[in-house]
C-alpha cells in the first residue's frame, strides 16, 4: 500500500505524477506554466486526464541562473496553497532539495517532497517527518544540485542506486516518515550517462524487489534523446516505450509531461499483466 496525502494506492495501481514547472527556463516547455493561470490550467487538465499527483517545481534541474531559496519559495508556496484550495483531493508534490523550501510548502499544504538530488540537504527528510509528508529518495550519484555529469563511472550502477536509495529510505523512516509514504527513484540522467540510465531501466526489477515503491522520472530526458538521436520535442515515443518497460518491471509512480498518453500505456501494460480488465470486451462474444 502506497499512501500519499488523502490517497491510498494498491500494490498494482499505477500512479501518474504530472509535472508543473514554475520556472521561466524549463527544458521542455520553456516557461509555459511559469505564470499562475497557465499553471492552474495545466493542473486542471492533468487531473482530468488521470494524474493523481501534481509535482510542482520552482528550480530548473539543469544549469542556469541562480535561484535562491527565497525565490524558489516565492514561485511555489502560494501556488501550492492555491492548488490545495482548488483541488482538495489531489496529491501535491514539490520538487525541491532545500529543507527551508520543503517546510514552507508543507505549511501551504504539500503532501510529498520530491528530493531529486539524493539527500544533499539531510534536513529535508526531517521536514517530511515533522509534517507527515511523503518523501522521494533519489539516486543522483553524489552530484551537486543543477550540475551535469562528467565522465562519471560506477563499478555497478544498480548496486550504487540500491545502496543510496534504500539507505535514504530507511533513514527517513527512522526519522519518522511513514514507511508507506516513502518511494525510491533511480534518478535517470542525474549523475549518470545514457548507458547508466539504460542499465538502470533494464534492471529496475532489482529496485522493485526491495519492497519500496519505485518512482521513475523518464519524461523526455536526455538518455531517451541520445538513445534515439532525437531533440527534446521528439522524445515522446521513446519515453512511452521506456514507460512500458518500467511498468512491466514493476515501477509504480511515473513523473510525466504527457499524462493522457502515459495513462494509456500504463493501462495497456496492466491489462497484459492481468492486473486490469479490458475496458470493453466484445470481440468474439457478440
- Which residues are designated catalytic? 221, 255
- Pairing mode, if any, of strands 15-21 and 53-57? parallel
Amino acid at each position: 500500500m502506497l499512501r500519499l496525502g488523502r490517497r491510498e494506492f494498491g500494490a498494482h495501481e499505477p500512479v501518474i505524477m504530472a509535472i508543473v514547472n514554475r520556472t521561466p527556463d524549463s527544458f521542455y516547455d520553456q516557461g509555459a506554466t511559469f505564470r499562475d493561470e497557465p499553471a492552474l490550467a495545466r493542473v486542471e487538465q492533468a487531473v482530468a486526464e488521470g494524474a493523481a499527483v501534481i509535482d510542482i517545481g520552482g528550480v530548473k534541474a539543469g544549469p542556469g541562473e541562480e535561484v535562491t531559496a527565497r525565490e524558489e519559495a516565492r514561485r511555489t508556496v502560494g501556488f501550492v496553497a492555491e492548488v490545495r484550495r482548488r483541488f482538495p483531493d489531489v496529491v501535491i508534490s514539490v520538487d525541491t532539495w532545500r529543507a527551508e523550501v520543503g517546510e514552507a510548502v508543507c505549511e501551504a499544504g504539500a503532501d510529498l517532497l520530491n528530493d531529486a538530488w539524493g539527500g544533499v540537504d539531510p534536513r529535508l527528510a526531517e521536514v517530511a517527518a515533522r509534517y507527515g509528508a511523503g518523501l522521494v529518495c533519489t539516486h543522483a550519484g553524489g552530484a551537486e544540485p543543477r550540475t551535469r555529469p562528467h565522465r562519471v563511472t560506477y563499478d555497478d550502477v544498480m548496486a550504487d542506486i540500491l545502496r543510496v536509495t534504500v539507505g535514504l529510505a530507511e533513514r527517513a523512516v527512522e526519522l519518522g516518515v511513514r514507511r508507506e509514504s516513502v518511494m525510491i527513484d533511480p534518478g535517470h540522467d542525474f549523475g549518470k550517462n545514457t548507458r547508466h540510465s539504460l542499465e538502470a531501466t533494464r534492471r529496475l526489477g532489482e529496485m522493485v524487489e526491495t519492497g519500496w515503491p519505485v518512482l521513475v522520472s523518464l519524461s523526455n530526458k536526455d538518455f531517451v534523446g541520445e538513445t534515439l538521436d532525437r531533440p527534446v520535442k521528439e522524445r515522446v515515443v521513446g519515453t512511452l516505450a521506456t514507460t512500458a518497460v518500467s511498468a512491466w518491471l514493476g515501477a509504480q509512480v511515473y513523473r510525466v509531461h504527457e499524462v493522457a498518453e502515459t495513462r494509456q500505456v500504463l493501462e495497456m501494460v496492466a491489462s497484459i499483466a492481468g492486473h486490469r480488465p479490458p475496458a470493453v470486451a466484445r470481440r468474439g462474444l457478440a
